[in-house]
């Protein structure tokens, strides 16, 4: 066991050439199988410069990992038309977004508004001594924290952003000796992670150095121990709201569905997600289908967004729905409120050609505009999911889209695809029904 484990270890991997890395992987984990090498290499881009750009985004790159990049057109947001770029592998997400966009296009479109844009970072430190003395020290050192970060903040300040405030927070009730510098930032069109982290590391350095020379501290108190300095991905004050509304009577396109009944059922479905965490997680997952796809297509950090959004969904002590719905004076309202820390400058935005293209498609938005578009994509996705779930059920639409995946698994020809897609327009598509239909079709030949 130990020998196998050792034989699969390697040192100096990061320094090997790409080709040697692949040789090592294929020899060690694929028993020298050339097919593995072929799969890895077939995803290389033929444009050497473009491939090198991707190679250098991360370490130890051996190939590229494709995701489909789709577009959901017909989004009317604050009276402006958008075709929204979406990078996602899940069948039916882009189709659902497009359907919801078209539906609301005829009903006034989406309204979106950024409620706040503040981001947060913290220096976590240990201090053992008198809190009053620590607080007095903090007050004297606070202007120095701003001063010391001037070289980092001056450009951001010129554009209207920067450090908003720094607070000292006593966390010693949760953990003995634990305190924080809790800072708030405005980073404008940048997601701001590097800016915030650089400021925080400077705060920590200045704070510790100044403490060593603070006469009112005892020798023990002088020795502030910095644990870490890092931004928080929980951004409850970087909030965006998106909404749709229309008279209840305009809610259904299908004459067989009573609009009032539909609205009531829809609102109950949302309420269930508000009160029941098991449902809320799936409900919000559907919202994130739309959100992550746009976040990814525009080169933003979807892990940061995911972490922050789910923390926000639990802010009242129980995981709950991110969307809400009501009827007021015969008008149906459906809305979302979510925290989104996004950037349209910095990071991948000017580096990755497809990200640049996605941003151009969105009229080169500011971070605030992008927050609105992303929130709308989440709301649209949730509308589409709830509409299917409360009427036909989700599988009808899902399986229609998944049909192509099954046909591809069976290497169906274009002619077979056409016949079977036509067939499943009037038949229920389940995995076994599709497999059976393929066999039947082929046995007739
Ligand atoms: C599937 O990816 C997403 C849904 O499950 C969302 C939902 O249930 O609301 C359809």
Ligand 1 pocket member 387 (CB < 6 A): no
Mean pLDDT by 10 residues, the chain (445 residues): 68 96 97 97 97 97 98 98 97 95 97 98 98 98 98 97 98 98 98 97 98 97 98 98 97 88 97 98 98 98 98 98 98 98 93 97 98 98 97 76 87 92 87 92 86
Task: Tell the residue nearest (CA) to atom 2 of ligand 1.
Answer: 286
| Helical pair 302-313 and 277-297, crossing angle rounded to 10 deg | 150
Ligand 1 pocket member 401 (CB < 6 A): no
The predicted structure's pLDDT at residue 54? 97
Task: Tell the residue nearest (CA) to atom 6 of ligand 1.
Answer: 286
The predicted structure's pLDDT at residue 1? 45
CA distance 306 to 313: 11
Give the angle 358-361-367 at the CA atoms, nearest 5°. 70
The predicted structure's pLDDT at residue 212? 98
Measured from the Cβ of residue 435, the count of other Cβ atoms closer than 10 Å reads 13
Centre of ligand 1 from the C-alpha of residue 375, in Å: 17
Measured from the Cβ of residue 436, the count of other Cβ atoms closer than 10 Å reads 11
The predicted structure's pLDDT at residue 101? 98
The predicted structure's pLDDT at residue 348? 87
Ligand 1 pocket member 394 (CB < 6 A): yes
Centre of ligand 1 from the C-alpha of residue 285, in Å: 6
Centre of ligand 1 from the C-alpha of residue 119, in Å: 30
Ligand 1 pocket member 124 (CB < 6 A): no
Ligand 1 pocket member 286 (CB < 6 A): yes
Ligand 1 pocket member 285 (CB < 6 A): yes
Answer positive or negative: Cα dihedral of 435, 440, 443, 444: negative
Centre of ligand 1 from the C-alpha of residue 348, in Å: 29
Ligand 1 pocket member 283 (CB < 6 A): yes
Ligand 1 pocket test, pick from 289, 382, 395 with the greatest ligand atom count within 8 Å of Cβ, gives 289
The predicted structure's pLDDT at residue 6? 61
Report, as residue numbers or ranges, the catalytic residues. 90, 285, 301, 398
Which residue is it, tokens 């510098």?
181
Ligand 1 pocket test, pick from 282, 383, 400 with the greatest ligand atom count within 8 Å of Cβ, gives 282
**pTM exceeds cut of 0.85:** yes
Centre of ligand 1 from the C-alpha of residue 389, in Å: 9
């Amino acid at each position: 066991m130990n020998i196998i484990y050792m034989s699969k270890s390697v040192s100096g991997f990061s320094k090997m050439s790409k080709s040697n890395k692949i040789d090592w992987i294929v020899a060690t984990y694929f028993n020298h199988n050339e097919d593995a090498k072929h799969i890895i290499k077939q995803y290389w881009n033929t444009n050497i410069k473009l491939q090198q750009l991707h190679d250098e985004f991360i370490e130890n790159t051996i190939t590229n990992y494709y995701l489909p990049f789709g577009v959901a057109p017909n989004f009317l947001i604050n009276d402006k038309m958008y075709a929204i770029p979406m990078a996602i592998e899940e069948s039916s997400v882009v189709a659902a977004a497009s359907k919801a966009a078209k539906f609301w296009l005829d009903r006034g479109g989406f309204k979106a508004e950024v409620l706040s844009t503040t981001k947060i970072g913290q220096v976590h430190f240990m201090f053992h001594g008198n809190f009053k003395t620590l607080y007095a020290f903090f007050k004297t050192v606070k202007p120095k924290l701003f001063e010391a970060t001037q070289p980092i903040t001056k450009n951001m300040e010129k554009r209207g952003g920067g450090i908003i405030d720094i607070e000292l927070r006593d966390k010693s009730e949760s953990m003995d000796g634990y305190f924080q510098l809790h800072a708030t930032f405005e980073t404008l069109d940048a997601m701001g992670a590097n800016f915030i982290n650089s400021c925080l590391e400077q705060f920590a350095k200045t704070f510790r150095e100044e403490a060593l020379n603070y006469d009112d501290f005892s020798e023990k108190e002088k020795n502030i121990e910095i644990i870490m300095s890092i931004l928080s991905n929980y951004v409850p004050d970087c909030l965006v709201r998106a909404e749709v509304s229309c008279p209840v009577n305009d809610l259904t396109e299908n004459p067989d569905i009573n609009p009032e009944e539909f609205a009531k059922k829809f609102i109950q479905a949302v309420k269930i997600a508000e009160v029941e965490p098991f449902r809320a997680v799936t409900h919000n997952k559907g919202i994130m289908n739309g959100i992550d796809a746009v976040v990814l297509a525009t080169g933003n950090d979807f892990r940061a967004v995911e972490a922050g959004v789910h923390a926000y969904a639990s802010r009242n002590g129980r995981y709950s729905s991110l969307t809400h719905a009501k009827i007021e004076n015969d008008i149906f309202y459906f809305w979302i409120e979510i925290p989104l820390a996004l950037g349209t400058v910095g990071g991948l935005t000017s580096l990755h050609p497809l990200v640049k293209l996605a941003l151009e498609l969105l009229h080169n938005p500011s971070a605030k505009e992008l927050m609105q578009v992303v929130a709308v994509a989440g709301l649209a996705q949730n509308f589409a999911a709830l509409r299917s779930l409360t009427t036909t059920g989700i599988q009808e639409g899902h399986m229609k889209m998944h049909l192509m995946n099954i046909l591809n698994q069976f290497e169906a020809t274009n002619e077979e695809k056409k016949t079977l897609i036509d067939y499943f327009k009037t038949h229920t598509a389940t995995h076994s029904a599709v497999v059976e239909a393929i066999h039947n079709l082929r046995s007739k030949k």
